[in-house]
Amino acid sequence: MLTITEAPEQQFNIFKFIPVRLAPWLLAIVACLIYCNTLPNQYALDDDLVFKNNKYVQQGFKGLPKIMTSDIFASYFEDYQVEEMLSGGRYRPLSQATFAVEHQFFGANPMVGHGINMVLYGLLVFVLFTVLLRSFRLSPDVVFITTLLFALHPIHTEVVANIKSRDEILSLLFILLSFRGFFKYVDTGKGLQLLLAGVVTFLAFLSKEYAYALVVLLPLAIVTFRPSGRIGKMVPTMFMLLAVTMVYTMIRVSIVGANILQQDDILNNPYLHASSDEALATKIFVLGKYLLLLLFPHPLSADYSYPHFPFLTFSSPMVLLSLLIYAGIMVLGVYYAWKRHVLGFAILTFLLFTFPVSNLLIDIGATMGERLMFHPSLGFCLAISYLLVKLAQRYSLNKAVLILPLLLITVAAVAKTMDRNRAWYDTDTLFLTDVKTVPKAVIANSNAGDAILKKAWIEKDSVKKQAMLIEARGYIDNALAPYPEFVNALVNLGTVQYLQGKKDSALTTWLLGKKYLPQSPHFVKYAEYFYNLGMTTATADINLAIQYLYMAAQLDGRSEYWSNLGGAYFTIKQYDTALACWETALKINPNDPEAKKGKAALTYTTPPAQK
């Protein structure tokens, strides 16, 4: 195993021009600089759910108690008036707490959020270098190359450029600090170090569930990177780790439960229509795709939703290849772990962080996500770095032989990362970019259609507007073809039809969407829009106002919508229809004052026919 034999203050063997003390600062600064172009970016993707439209975050300090005792999507579920929609629950309050504090001081300012993510990533890179060098005592060459590859890897762009993914950064940061704290205890025997290690481990759990891997990785790291004389510290170390794990688990279960939900939504359960063999084979294939992206991170996408990956079987050569590769990796991992070798720790780190997000244990609600490789990439980078340095040492290669490819990798990675950061400018830019990479994915197509639709809504030139609507309709149709019940796409389709002047078709489409998801706030907002439009149009064109008021009443049956619709019909002397509208309003709200007044104004008693 490659370990340090010289004092850490000495220079690198290969990179002799960089002092060890300066290296982590240099790498941290580089990590920050390559994400500087995220600072002008806006909120994107799930930022709206966890920050911009999260009512607990918007409360600042006052929202902290609710944040600490709720699922990360609790505010979203309440807005939609639904129960938990994702398997296993998401109790990750620490990042949300930072969002609430951030909002307390800066409000909804995406530049601040991106800046914090950038700085935290730089801090993570600094801590990674320190842990590998000081705690694991690896050679400076291995430490430097590992940290460099990790800092520059373009697959991390989703984590750093997406404010929501701060939970990933905090999770890995506190996991590394947990290693640092426990190793300090192992080296010094001081109880305070053990206590501090327990605290940062608990913070790692509050960031994300990856901290469960410490139960295996921490004792493995101790037996790998410390002489046998230190193993005596293992009992109190594991006692503290298991105690923290149990406390967190009890808190988690009491808040989000322990049920594994069975989803009947293809977007939250992408293997819903697959046979058991097809599901397993496709999951193994996706694991192979992860490895490919770690080796060659292009092209990248924020979405790999159904049906981007076709269902495969074990007769597929790519499935068998992925299976053989992972089987070989597992065998090597166990072998080298038994030998107390750094490769054993690196490989098992990769596998243990990959397994929870592989869909093999529980369905995570997605086929694939680049952010899910953030933690596993640490083991990947460590293994690659070790092998590179070992190769250079074994064959006495000139340092230029290793430096040149690293420089090429650095230039390519920086270019790819900064280009990808621009794609994360906002949700519209992201999906208009990514739909070219995943042309069949439902979510990517729906959001690309939505992005064009927003531009069409405000476009003044009628020819350009119609061209945009046709383009948007193409993406929306692509989303609805494999998933006709997708409400967001139905909402957008109705909007296209409305802007094309097809009000009846638009209302029919929206009502179909409302049938699938009655509580969607989209319909409430559209109803308010048409109600206000109807009220302002009434004096100029009462018949057009009736159309708008009718659409509002159908989309969100508030009594005031029905009572004002009744008033509009009364104005054009359609008394039977007016009375029907007022009676509908009174069924919804028996005390509706306008409906009462309108009904009292009628002098006949014959029940009208419903519209």
Domain CATH number, residue 468: 1.25.40
Residue 372 pLDDT exceeds 90: yes
Give Cβ neighbours of residue 572 (< 8 Å, ≥ 6 apart).
542, 543, 546
pTM (predicted TM-score): 0.91
Using the predicted structure, report yes or no on whether residue 309 has a pLDDT greater than 80: yes
CA 254 – CA 69 distance, rounded (Å): 9
Q: What is the mean pLDDT of residues 241-251?
A: 97
Same domain, yes or no: 454 and 534: no
CATH of the domain at 578: 1.25.40.10
Q: Of 17-26, 377-386, 600-609, which range is least confident? A: 600-609
Residue 396's DSSP bridge partners are none
Handedness of CA 143, 147, 148, 154 (dihedral sign): positive
Is a pLDDT exceeding 90 seen at residue 396?
Answer: no
CB 176 within 8 A of CB 135: no
Asked if residue 265 belongs to a domain, the reply is no
Q: Is the pLDDT of residue 457 over 70?
A: yes
Q: Which of 516, 550, 570 is the last residue of a domain?
A: 516
Answer yes or no: are the C-beta atoms of 77 and 83 closer than 8 Å: yes
pLDDT of amino acid 265:
84
Number of domains in the chain: 2
Segment 128-177, tens digit of pLDDT = 999 999 999 999 999 999 999 999 999 999 999 999 999 999 999 999 99
Q: What is the pLDDT of residue 3?
A: 42
pLDDT, position 72? 87
Structure tokens given for 391: 């190769």
The domain boundary, picked from 516, 531, 553, lies at: 516
Is the pLDDT score of 603 beyond 60?
A: no
In the numeric block, which tokens belong to residue 256? 């989000």
Residue 566 lies in a domain: yes
Among candidates 218, 208, 163, which has minimal Cα distance to 375?
208
- Are 526 and 476 members of one domain? no
**CA atoms in the 13 A half-sphere facing the CB of 573:** 0
Q: Which residue has the higher pLDDT, 213 or 392?
A: 213
Closest by CA position to 426, among listed 238, 214, 163, 148: 163
Q: Which domain holds residue 467?
A: 441-516
How is residue 469 written in tokens? 């609507």
Query: What is the pLDDT confidence band of residue 256, given thresholds at 50, 70 and 90?
Result: confident
- 502 lies in the same domain as 539: no
DSSP string, 148-164: HHHHH-GGGHHHHHSGG
Which of 516, 546, 571 is where one domain is finished?
Answer: 516
Please, what is the average pLDDT of the chain? 91
Does some domain include residue 398?
no
Q: 288 pLDDT exceeds 80? A: yes
Count the neighbouring beta carbons within 10 Å of the beta carbon of residue 235: 9
pLDDT of amino acid 487: 95
When pLDDT is cut at 50, 70 and 90, the band that residue 80 belongs to is low
Helix (H) or strand (E) holding 216: helix 214-225
Q: Which pLDDT band holds residue 13 (cuts at 50, 70, 90)?
A: low
Arithmetic mean of pLDDT, 42-54:
91
> Has residue 478 been placed in a domain?
yes
The residue with tokens 């359960």 is 269
- Asked if pLDDT for residue 358 goes beyond 60, the answer is yes
Q: Do 505 and 570 share a domain, yes or no?
A: no
Q: How sure is the predictor about 5, in pLDDT bands with cuts at 50, 70 and 90?
A: very low
| Co-location of 610 and 524 in the same domain | yes
Mean pLDDT of 247-270: 85
Using only C-alpha atoms, what is the Rg of the chain? 29
Q: How much is the pLDDT for 400? A: 67
Same domain, yes or no, for 550 and 499? no
- Within this chain, do residues 465 and 545 fall inside the same structural domain, yes or no? no
Q: Are 210 and 356 in contact (CB under 8 A)?
A: yes
pLDDT of residue 1: 43
Residues 456 and 529 reside in one and the same domain: no
- Predicted pLDDT at 4: 37
pLDDT value at position 231?
Answer: 67
Average pLDDT over residues 70-97: 72
pLDDT at 7 over 50: no
**pLDDT recorded at residue 79:** 60
Percent of the chain having pLDDT more than 70? Answer: 91
Tell whether 531 and 577 lie within a shared domain.
yes
Mean pLDDT score, 358-371: 92
Say what the pLDDT of residue 8 is: 41
Burial 153-192 (b: 16+ CB within 10 A, else e): bbbbbbbbbbbbbbbbbbbbbbbbbbbbbbbbbbeeeeee
In a domain, 211, yes or no: no
Q: What share of the chain is helix, strand, coil (3-state, %, to 5)?
A: 70, 0, 30
559 domain-assigned = yes
HEC string for 404-469: HHHHHHHHHHHHHHHHHHHHCCCHHHHHHHHCCCCCCCHHHHHHHHHHHHHHHHHCCCHHHHHHHH
pLDDT of residue 394: 81
pLDDT at 6 (0 to 100): 38
475 lies in some domain: yes
- For position 77, what pLDDT does the model report? 61
Which are the contacts of 377, defined by CB distance < 8 A and separation ≥ 6?
150, 153, 155, 156, 294
Say yes or no: 608 and 547 in one domain.
yes
Give a yes or no: residue 598 inside a domain.
Answer: yes
> pLDDT by residue (tens digit) across 413-445?
999 999 999 999 999 999 999 999 999 999 999
